[in-house]
Structure 1
Amino acid sequence: MASYNIEKRRLASGGYHYKCVVREKSKGKIIHNESKTFSKRVLADSWGKKQVNDIEQSRVTETKQAVTLCILMNIYFENHDLWNATGCTSDLIGSL
């Protein structure tokens, strides 16, 4: 799940900047992290919302397929030259 946080940063000149940090976690680990600094909090907030929305939308369009060993074996038996098309050299295959 993606989320964002805005940090208020004081400048040496006395003004403030706002750092927006966007993170996505999966199973307790950070899988995506990005940040950007803005001069106004409203800009940081809108950027954070947009980034979170983009991350959520990209996750919705992802499709994961499980392929069984039987299917992989059938693909190999139907096309015997499949291994040659992978780009492996015979030197590498011989060392395996």
Structure 2
Amino acid sequence: MASFTVEKRKTAAGVIRYHCIVRVKKDKAIVYQESRTFGKSTDARTWGKAMMSHIETQRIPGQAPEVPTIRELIAMYQQDPDIAKTIGRTKGYVLNLLAGSDISKLQQ
């Protein structure tokens, strides 16, 4: 789950800056973290919200998408409403046979 925090900081010159940190935690461990510093608090909050929504709708930046196994692909194929109507008895048996075999554990 993604979250963000905004910290108010004072530079050596006495200027107020806002440091926004976006974190993604999984099982109490930090999986992803990115931060930026802004001159305005509203800019920091806007960036934090935008990064959170990007992470939740897309995925973590730079992370490779998970590749499904052959078994998962067969299950998606069989559950598709348009395709499920056209699967006959023999094709259904063969797909179930393939899904139950060792080769179906391999990734695409």
TM-score, normalized by the shorter chain, greater than 0.5 = yes
TM (normalized to structure 1)? 0.64
Amino acid at match of 2:28: G
**Unaligned stretches of 5+ in structure 2?**
60-64, 72-98
Q: TM-score, normalised to structure 2's length?
A: 0.58
Give the equivalent residue in structure 1 for 2:13. 13
Which of structure 1's runs of 4+ aligned residues deviate more than 3 A?
Answer: 62-69
Offset at 1:69? 7.2
Shift of 1:65: 3.8
Deviation at 1:30, TM superposition (A): 0.7
Residue 34 of structure 1 and its aligned partner are, at CA, apart by 0.2
Q: Counterparts in 2 of 1:72-91, with a 5 A limit? A: 72=103
What residue is the counterpart of 2:101 in the other structure? 70
**Overall identity of the aligned pairs, in %:** 36
RMSD: 2.7
How many residues are treated as equivalent by the alignment? 73
Counterpart AA for 1:4: F
